[in-house]
Amino acid sequence: MILAPLRGVTIRCFRDVYADEILSAGFTEAITPFISAMRGVDPLKDRELNPLADKVSRIKITPQFIGKDPEALRAALQRVKSAGYECADLNCGCPFPMVRNKGRGSGLLKTPDVLRRIVEVGVETMGEGKFSVKTRLGVDEPSELFSLIDVLNEFPLRFLTVHGRIARQMYDGECDFKAIEKISRLSKNKVIANGDLDWRDGVGMVGRSFIRHLGEMDFSAEALRRYISVSRDELHGDRPVLGRMKELVAYWKDIPKWRSLWPLIKIARSISEFESCL
């Protein structure tokens, strides 16, 4: 079971604070929220890539990159490989319009030639079976990934992760697991399912159900206070810490013990106001 990359949530600081819960749940690997592969930018300076500070060192930490420039990706991968990261992942599924409209994330599904080149660079740089791709079924139609499977089959990937929605769905509607099964039959690479999976099943790439589980724990408020404390050491000022906490608790707003607190948490303007709600 792999911990899914949730932007702003399953970050290194989160993995540090919730290390025991992550390990006891049975996760064997975590994919980092995406890091931009840009020319002249050192990915090792990103807060995500700090293996010495990551207390979940008993599981594999795999950096995920987003971008559409093959040479920028090559440079980024060479840096993380030199730092000891054995594998890397490509974000080919981010559904947000501001990302996909620039040809990154799920936008790569609209440019097969760019997709082919960037995956080729990923495999060349990391080595056979060391580079993976995380994608959606398509941007507008599930048929888009089916038409691209021959491109992905050209390369010996570590695995192909498929989220069972198209990008325009964002996170609405149900996942199409039958489509994922069809893709797995067509793919020469191992296919891992993603989207609406229950962490208790112990398989696939799982994110939201595990995050919800953390909110259901008896000591969820106590753990959240630890997260606040560690985040205060890492960030400067209340505003970024508050934003980080709200992003996490937003996943808990439908849990009975948090439902009545969410309206107050949502409008909190400082950490002290936030903590007074706990």
Residue 149 Cα to chain centre, angstroms: 22
Identify the residue whose tokens are 């707003």.
Answer: 253
- The 10s digit of each residue's pLDDT in 239-266 is 999 999 999 999 999 999 999 999 999 9
Predicted pLDDT at 45: 81
Task: Supply the mean pLDDT for the chain.
Answer: 93
pLDDT tens track of the chain, all 278 residues? Answer: 999 999 999 999 999 899 999 999 999 999 999 999 988 888 888 788 865 555 555 788 999 999 999 999 999 999 999 988 999 999 999 999 999 999 999 999 999 999 999 999 999 999 999 999 999 999 999 999 999 999 999 999 999 999 999 999 999 999 999 999 999 999 999 999 999 999 999 999 999 999 999 999 999 999 999 999 999 998 988 999 999 999 999 999 999 999 999 999 999 999 999 999 99
Predicted pLDDT at 41: 83
Predicted pLDDT at 195: 94
Distances (CA, A) of 139 to 96, 107, 117, 166, 169: 10, 7, 20, 5, 9
Predicted pLDDT at 56: 54
pTM passes above 0.85: yes
Instruction: Provide the 8-state DSSP code for 199.
Output: G
Identify the residue whose tokens are 């990008």.
Answer: 167
The letter for the amino acid at 72 is A
Predicted pLDDT at 151: 97
